[in-house]
Amino acid sequence: MLIGQLLKPFGYLAIQHPYKWVVDWLYPCILASISIALIALLSNTSKLVEPNGMIAMLLSFVQSLPGFYIAALAAIATFGRLDIDDILPEPTPKVVIKLRGRENTIDLTRRRFLAMLFAFLTGESITIVIFCITLISFGSELNGFIYNGTLVGHYIYSTSIFMLLLFTYQMILATFWGLYYLGYKLQE
């Protein structure tokens, strides 16, 4: 049960909505693929983990975000307007929650949606920070890893860079979606 509670911030990904997968997966995957192609064409991928490389710069940007996301989460949790607790309009995002051993599908309010979004962004940004630190620490050794005469490390390294970019773009797009809701939709 404890591991389920620790992973709960990632429950945002389980929200059911017809278009949410586009923001969560399609756009980030396209952007990560374009980025990987550009990196492969214009640069040496082993330079990504150098002290002034792309991953170090990404780390310096992302490491400040968890605090801002937590502040946004606190603001959403204590926001005083009553309409924030209204159910979102159609197509209403839904989530399955387990209550007293039974699964229930519930419609999301603006507050619950935004709280889930910013809890997810906090968890994802912390995960990206740890992932960046790991790649900076072990990326160059991993890139040259040979197993049974095959350079498998390069494939693992390239896949890791793609995953990092995918989750970074996912975080950026979800942040802009959250800013849209906070800046515009709550004022309607």
- The rounded distance, in Å, linking the Cα atoms of 174 and 186 is 17
Please write the tens of the pLDDT for every residue from 41-89: 887 777 788 888 899 999 999 999 999 999 999 988 888 777 788 888 8
Residue 8 falls within a domain, yes or no?
no
Please write the tens of the pLDDT for every residue from 158-170: 889 999 999 999 9
Structural domain tally of the chain? 1
Residue 38 falls within a domain, yes or no?
yes
3-state secondary structure of 181: helix
Residue 117 falls within a domain, yes or no?
yes
pLDDT, residue 164, reads 96
Residue 141 falls within a domain, yes or no?
yes
Please write the tens of the pLDDT for every residue from 11-45: 999 999 988 999 999 999 999 999 999 988 887 77
Residue 11 falls within a domain, yes or no?
no
**Domain range for 131:** 19-187
3-state secondary structure of 105: strand
Helix (H) or strand (E) holding 102, with range, is: strand 102-107
